[in-house]
Amino acid sequence: MPKPAPLYELQKARLESYAHAGYNFDYARLSEYTRANGWNVDDYETELPAEAPGPAEAHGSWAAAREVLRNYTFPPPGLITGIFVPDQPLEQRVMVLRGQFLFFTFWFGVRIGGVTDETRTLPDGSREQVWGYNYRTLEGHFERGQIEFTVHKHLTTGRVRFHIHAVSQTGRIRNPFYWLGFKLFGRMLQVRFSQQSVRRLKEQVEEMLRKGWTSPDASEAPPIRSTTDHTSAQEQLDEAT
């Protein structure tokens, strides 16, 4: 029996349709998007298995969490499925998100807005190793905003944690039926996504540590570079407005 085609091949047309889509919000004003201004600002976090003090271990929980994040396997599959070309560099990744609720299926586009790979100095002078990325909503998404996923290791204590930070607001929904459904259930689904995502990432990391795992071969893994922004992001927004 032939093996079914991967989702990124089945959804090739949708992926291509978002390749040059603009963002549906002005990310340059992100600092202005506060609860006082009508935006949802959310933070979720979970503790991961600790490591010995010092830099992240090659096959410890920090590196395992990085692989889970890279592969986008942590969102609840009954709610959100991320579809992307696997060999595309992470900092250039465009994803089609397939959202499911009751008997509805929705398709949304997002783009990676930045990749973080750094060591930070904390207010108390200690340091932590941080890796992660954010993605931003594209034209046609029912929401507008940015969500960031990061894994942190405290270099002194060995504490490892996974953090989600999201800034969002309901976008433009032309279909009145969808608008009503999203108004009634959108916030609940948004919270469920984050709560289940932190739980699932922790479970996947713990399973990887129990079974043992190895990093992908450098020649096979998509290249990743730290970046704060796409150089063409503002141009994409300008085209959309």
- The answer to whether position 176 is within a domain reads yes
Distance from chain centroid for Cα 4 = 26
Higher model confidence: residue 217 or residue 190? 190
4 in a structural domain: no
| Highest mean pLDDT out of 80-84, 131-135, 193-197, 208-212 | 131-135
- The CATH number assigned to the domain holding 178 equals 3.30.530.20
> Residue 151: inside a domain, yes or no?
yes
Overall domain count for the chain:
1
If you search the block for the tokens 């890279």, which residue do you land on? 70
Average pLDDT over residues 98-123: 88
pLDDT band of residue 170 (cuts 50, 70, 90) is: confident
Q: Considering the domain boundaries, does residue 169 fall inside one?
A: yes
Contact 109, 138 (CB under 8 A): yes
In a domain, 59, yes or no: yes
Does the residue 3 lie in any domain?
no
- Residue 107: the pLDDT is 85
pTM (2 d.p.): 0.84
User: Is 33 part of any domain?
Assistant: yes
Residue 137 lies in a domain: yes
Report the pLDDT value the prediction gives residue 227, as an integer from 0 to 100.
Answer: 38
Residue 115 structure tokens:
């990749």
**pLDDT at 228 exceeding the cut of 60:** no
Neighbours of 172 (CB within 10 A): 11
pLDDT digits (tens, 9 = 90+) for 63-108: 999 999 999 999 998 888 999 999 889 999 999 988 877 677 888 8
Q: What are phi and psi of 91, to 5 degrees?
A: -70, -10
Over the stretch 12-62, which tens digit does the pLDDT of each residue have? 998 999 988 999 899 999 999 999 998 989 999 999 999 999 999 999 999
Q: Which domain holds residue 187?
A: 26-213
Give me the helix-helix angle, 176-211 and 61-71, nearest 10°. Answer: 140
* DSSP-assigned states of every residue in 21-86: PPBSS-GGGGGG--GGGT-EEEEEEEEE----SSSPPTTSHHHHHHHHHHHT--S-TTTEEEE--T
| 178 pLDDT more than 70 | no
